[in-house]
Structure 1
Amino acid sequence: MTHDHDLVLRPTPAQTAAALSPPPGRSGADLVVETLAGLGATTVFGLSGRHGPGVSDALRRSDLRYVGLRMENNAGFAADAYGRITGEAAPLLLSTGPGALTSLAALQEAAAASAPVLAISSQIPTAGLGGGRHGYLHELPDQAASFRGVVKSVHTVRAQSQIPSALAAAWKSALTAPHGPVWVEIPQDVLLAETALPVVTAPDATPDELPPRPELTALAADLLARAARPAIIAGGGVVRADAAGKLLRLAERLDAPVVTTFGGKGAFPWEHPLSLRSWLEDRHTTDFLEDADVLLVVGSGLGELSSNHHTFAPRGRVIQIEADLGKLESNHPALGIHADARPALQALLETVAERTDAAAPQRVRTLLAKVADRIAAQELALEQDVLAAVRRALPAGAPSFWDMTILAYWAWSAFDAQAPNAMHSAQGAGGPGYGFPAALGAAVADPTRPVLAVSGDGGALYSIAELATARQYGLNVTWLIVDDGGHGILRAHMTDAFGRATATELIRPDHVALAESFGVPGVRTGPETLEADLATALATPGPSVVVLPAVLRMFAPTHLG
């Protein structure tokens, strides 16, 4: 009796011959590189260390493109952005111990933002693992333990035969919704030892699908169709799932206003009559969402920023579609649907009855007018003018990457991304230094478009060394540095909380001269010339730096009522 699951693919004669006579001079590191190529990788990021040269040498014998950065955390940010732009798992090559640990902040951001990153680290020789010999350079008592609380999955290799399967399992994990970073560690001696194993070809790592349960989408569709005041919160899960088009059709079928979270920027058209935009740190918006009798939350865990600092208290029925099981109903009771945004929205489109609400666009206009009046009363023309200049200078479709800086906080609420997957920031985990190295990763992913990075002078110093990377690879990244002489947002927070700021002022370099020392053109601009200078830099191939000396202010907190 033959069962379908007993069927196997049999090698061709040519494949058998190749397997029996593998090319000489290969090592375990070649198995890593061959597996990555077989999985579909074309580019790897990283920084080689004492235990990593074997992989670097194997890359020389492959068609994979290597992009080396100057610091592991920055390499992680670049891989994060590459994964966001391409939807592929971005390999990140790291050395043992301190090199690996230096990537942790970047991997935390990738995890928070659901960016697929395949981190591959060397490890001390197998003789030192599990309580063996000690005292190896870079040795950690349990290196994998440092990553388990950060990444989606951890994969440890102990023999060369394990390499293809471990990498395929990690690749599959990274690309199964919710996307995220994964960790693979391979001992140094396993990487360096010669191998007689066949060349790796096309390992299977098809991501698992995450469809919704039909009885749940049927109930959700009924609730939405019968709602009097439905509303939608669209998060980063909509962008990661490439589901913006389905969201638009559902919102129009329901006449439901849509607000996008800071991680979901661009998931819904900014100028659409049903667009509430992204004013989530605004009490008027919070009140509007609380008043919805049915609130559909797609691809968001309703965390601190998306819930107006946990002041949001919905009064109606909440439906939450979320791929991350840990975020499902974690902050608010809901009809929880554990699913990727794309198939879940498709299921709703196939099920929900059309409803008409001619008053919905007027309610949206009224809400946005209240927000505009509140901002206008705070005398913040400089900040709005600067943000508008950036928007006008940035070509349509060009991606932007924002560091943790005051202008980015403005952009979260007030910047029109103009397209899904076009605006990215470090708001997932909230670590500084993200903007510039992430923009480099995006430029590697798509060299046909200019990329904008935005930092403050404090955050810029986290990644200033990557000017060398930008110059070395000729990457089309324009870096806008808003120089206010310190950690501006901390200065503002401390002044508000304590009446004065401490440890926020910085001695900083001449950023223009520093850029030029790397061979990167730089210009110092002002609010009146920012648009022209930025547009010129973005239109010029290769990297550039634009420095704007300005002290910007945040709009007043609005979660206090």
Structure 2
Amino acid sequence: MTHDHDLELRPTPAQTEAALDPPPGRTGGDLVVETLAGLGATTVFGLPGQHALGVFDALRRSDLRYIGLRVENNAGFAADAYGRITGEAAPLLLSTGPGALTSLAALQEARAASAPVLAISSQVPTAGLGGGRHGYLHELPDQAASFRGVVKSVHTVRAASQIPSAIAEAWRSALTAPHGPVWVEIPQDVLLAETLLPVVTGVDATPEEPAPRVELTAVAADWLSRAARPAIIAGGGVVRADAAGKLRQLAEALQAPVVTTFGGKGAFPWRHPLSLQSWLEDRHTTDFLEDADVLLVVGSGLGELSSNYHTFTPRGRVVQIEADLGKLEANHPALGIHADARLALQALLETVRPREDAGAPARVRALLDRVRARIDAQGLDLEQRVLAAVRRALPADAPSFWDMTILAYWAWSAFDAGRPNTMHSAQGAGGLGYGFPAALGAAAADPTRPVLAVSGDGGALYSIAELATARQYDLNVTWLIVDDGGYGILREYMTDAFGQATATELTRPDFVALAESFGVPGVRTTPENLTADLTAALAAPGPSVVVLPAVLRMFAPTHRT
């Protein structure tokens, strides 16, 4: 008996001839780049290293575009952003030991933010695996163990024939919701050895999309349809699932106010009559959400920031839609629906009964008025003017990448992202140095739009070497550096907690002169000139740096202690 899929697996005569007569001189490294190309990759990030030279040599024989950064962690941030912007798995090529380990902080951010990164690392030769017997340079007793607690999955290769399947399996893992970073490691001798295996021409690695159970969405739809005061918290899962349109349809059908988490910026229109915006570090917003008799949480685990530092205590029923199984009911009891946000929202749209609530927009306006009055009473005009200047300068469709700096903390709550998948920050794991290298990855993903990076002077020093990368590849990134002479947010934290700050003041360079030494134009600006200077920099092709000397302060969050 012949099945249809049997016919699909039968090679054509031309495929058979090519498979039986592969071109000479190919290595395990060629199998790596052929597999990546077969999966649809077009761009790879990374740094070469001694044990990884086999795969880098193979790049020379491929059509893959290589973007080389100066520090492995920054290469990881660039791959992270490429994955966020494109929705594709971003290959990250690393060498053994120190090179691999230097990427850990970036991979932690990718895991926390569900960014699909495919990290491929070399290993010591197979004879040295198991630890310490041969004393190879860069050798670790168990390199993969350093990554198991950080990435979604680890895939080990010990022979050339394993390379295509291992990379395909890792690719599928990275793109299966929840997205995330994955790890593949291949020994040096396997990458260098010649292979007679056929050229890899196509690989099937279709990711899975967890679909909701119908009995759960039926209950959720009934609760929401009968609710008196429904509300919605929209997280990053909505953005990653490209489900913003479905979220808006559902909110309007239910007349349910929506707040977006810091990771979900842009998931719901900022000026919509039902938009609570993103004021999560605010007691008024927390009270509003606690008062909901049915709260729908989509694509968020309600972690520390999304729950107003774990002070949020819902009093009504909670429905939580989450692709990451481990986050279901991790912080609050709920009707937990393990599903991709887009599929679950579609199921609810097909099941809910529309409800009328003419008073919902008025309640939203009243809440935002209370938030605005609280912020305005704190004497923070400079901070609000600076953030507004950035918004005016940034084109509506241009992505922005924010480091862990005071202006970014403001942006989480107060910045209108404009569109889904345009505002990104390092708030997943909270490491410094994310903004600029991530922006470079986004510019590599889409060279038709300018990209904005925002850093403080402390975070900028983590990634200053990537000015060379920006210049080498002529990437359209404008880097706004807010220079306050130190680690500004830590200065505030320590002063508030202990009366004075320690280890927060920094000797820093002349950032404009430093940028110009790399051949990157720079300008020093003021709050009054910021919009004009940023607008000009973003409109000019290639990289640029805008430095704003300013000491900004955080607004006071309000939550129960």
- Taking the TM superposition and a 5 Å limit, the aligned residue runs for 1:347-386 are 347-386=347-386
> Does the alignment pair 1:14 with 2:49?
no
The alpha-carbon deviation at position 134 of structure 1 amounts to 2.7
- Taking the TM superposition and a 5 Å limit, the aligned residue runs for 1:126-525 are 126-131=126-131, 133-525=133-525
Residue 26 of structure 1 aligns with which residue?
A: 26
- Aligned residues of 2:131 and 2:139 also touching (Cα < 8 A): no
Distance (whole Å) between structure 2 residues aligned to residue 101 and residue 220 of structure 1: 44
Distance (whole Å) between structure 2 residues aligned to residue 277 and residue 193 of structure 1: 56
SS of residue matched to 1:196:
coil
Distance (whole Å) between structure 1 residues aligned to residue 366 and residue 463 of structure 2: 42
The alpha-carbon deviation at position 557 of structure 1 amounts to 2.4
SS of residue matched to 1:51:
helix
RMSD: 1.0
CA-to-aligned-CA distance 1:187-217 (integer Å, 9 cap, x gap):
0000000011000011110001210000000
CA spacing shift, 1:539–1:278, aligned 2, 3 Å: same
Distance (whole Å) between structure 1 residues aligned to residue 471 and residue 229 of structure 2: 53
The alpha-carbon deviation at position 55 of structure 1 amounts to 1.0
Distance (whole Å) between structure 1 residues aligned to residue 226 and residue 58 of structure 2: 61
**Runs (4+) off by over 2 Å:** 1-8, 130-134
CA spacing shift, 1:389–1:132, aligned 2, 3 Å: closer
SS of residue matched to 1:559:
coil
Distance (whole Å) between structure 1 residues aligned to residue 134 and residue 150 of structure 2: 26
Q: Please, what TM-score do these two structures have when normalized by structure 2?
A: 0.99
> Does the alignment pair 1:69 with 2:56?
no
Quick one: which amino acid aligns to residue 501 of structure 1?
A: A
The alpha-carbon deviation at position 133 of structure 1 amounts to 3.0
- Number of aligned pairs? 561
CA spacing shift, 1:2–1:10, aligned 2, 3 Å: closer
Quick one: which amino acid aligns to residue 404 of structure 1?
A: M
SS of residue matched to 1:326:
helix
Quick one: which amino acid aligns to residue 182 of structure 1?
A: V
> Does the alignment pair 1:118 with 2:139?
no
SS of residue matched to 1:170:
helix
SS of residue matched to 1:512:
helix
Distance (whole Å) between structure 1 residues aligned to residue 140 and residue 184 of structure 2: 15
Distance (whole Å) between structure 2 residues aligned to residue 150 and residue 187 of structure 1: 21
Distance (whole Å) between structure 2 residues aligned to residue 453 and residue 5 of structure 1: 48
Distance (whole Å) between structure 2 residues aligned to residue 309 and residue 327 of structure 1: 17
The alpha-carbon deviation at position 403 of structure 1 amounts to 0.1
Residue 58 of structure 1 aligns with which residue?
A: 58
The alpha-carbon deviation at position 5 of structure 1 amounts to 7.1
CA-to-aligned-CA distance 1:255-314 (integer Å, 9 cap, x gap):
000000000000000000000000000000000000000000000000000000000000
SS of residue matched to 1:52:
helix
CA spacing shift, 1:410–1:131, aligned 2, 3 Å: closer
Unaligned runs of 5+ in 2: none
Distance (whole Å) between structure 1 residues aligned to residue 8 and residue 350 of structure 2: 37
CA-to-aligned-CA distance 1:469-519 (integer Å, 9 cap, x gap):
000000000000000000000000000000000000000000000000000
CA-to-aligned-CA distance 1:293-339 (integer Å, 9 cap, x gap):
00000000000000000000000000000000010100000000000
- Aligned residues of 2:131 and 2:140 also touching (Cα < 8 A): no
Distance (whole Å) between structure 1 residues aligned to residue 58 and residue 484 of structure 2: 45
> Does the alignment pair 1:45 with 2:42?
no
The alpha-carbon deviation at position 53 of structure 1 amounts to 1.4
Residue 87 of structure 2 aligns with which residue?
A: 87
- Taking the TM superposition and a 5 Å limit, the aligned residue runs for 1:91-110 are 91-110=91-110
Quick one: which amino acid aligns to residue 138 of structure 1?
A: H
CA-to-aligned-CA distance 1:441-494 (integer Å, 9 cap, x gap):
000000000000000000000000000000000000000000000000000000
Moved more, 420-429 or 131-140: 131-140
Distance (whole Å) between structure 1 residues aligned to residue 52 and residue 176 of structure 2: 28
The alpha-carbon deviation at position 52 of structure 1 amounts to 1.3
Residue 532 of structure 2 aligns with which residue?
A: 532
SS of residue matched to 2:218:
helix
SS of residue matched to 1:388:
helix
- Aligned residues of 2:308 and 2:559 also touching (Cα < 8 A): yes
Distance (whole Å) between structure 2 residues aligned to residue 208 and residue 368 of structure 1: 39
SS of residue matched to 2:130:
coil
SS of residue matched to 2:66:
strand
Distance (whole Å) between structure 2 residues aligned to residue 130 and residue 377 of structure 1: 62
Distance (whole Å) between structure 1 residues aligned to residue 69 and residue 295 of structure 2: 44
Moved more, 128-137 or 230-239: 128-137
Distance (whole Å) between structure 2 residues aligned to residue 274 and residue 396 of structure 1: 21
CA-to-aligned-CA distance 1:78-100 (integer Å, 9 cap, x gap):
00000000000000000000000
Distance (whole Å) between structure 1 residues aligned to residue 453 and residue 365 of structure 2: 32
Distance (whole Å) between structure 2 residues aligned to residue 6 and residue 134 of structure 1: 47
Distance (whole Å) between structure 1 residues aligned to residue 386 and residue 456 of structure 2: 14
Quick one: which amino acid aligns to residue 289 of structure 1?
A: L
Distance (whole Å) between structure 2 residues aligned to residue 159 and residue 271 of structure 1: 56
- Aligned residues of 2:81 and 2:438 also touching (Cα < 8 A): yes
SS of residue matched to 1:420:
coil
CA-to-aligned-CA distance 1:392-442 (integer Å, 9 cap, x gap):
000111000000000000000000000000000000000010000000000
Q: Please, what TM-score do these two structures have when normalized by structure 1?
A: 0.99
SS of residue matched to 2:100:
helix
Distance (whole Å) between structure 2 residues aligned to residue 559 and residue 136 of structure 1: 54
Residue 555 of structure 2 aligns with which residue?
A: 555
Distance (whole Å) between structure 1 residues aligned to residue 529 and residue 5 of structure 2: 67
- Aligned residues of 2:132 and 2:139 also touching (Cα < 8 A): no
Quick one: which amino acid aligns to residue 211 of structure 1?
A: A
CA-to-aligned-CA distance 1:103-124 (integer Å, 9 cap, x gap):
0000000000000000000000
SS of residue matched to 1:351:
coil
The alpha-carbon deviation at position 132 of structure 1 amounts to 7.3
The alpha-carbon deviation at position 54 of structure 1 amounts to 1.1
SS of residue matched to 2:169:
helix
Distance (whole Å) between structure 2 residues aligned to residue 169 and residue 500 of structure 1: 52
SS of residue matched to 2:297:
strand
Unaligned runs of 5+ in 1: none
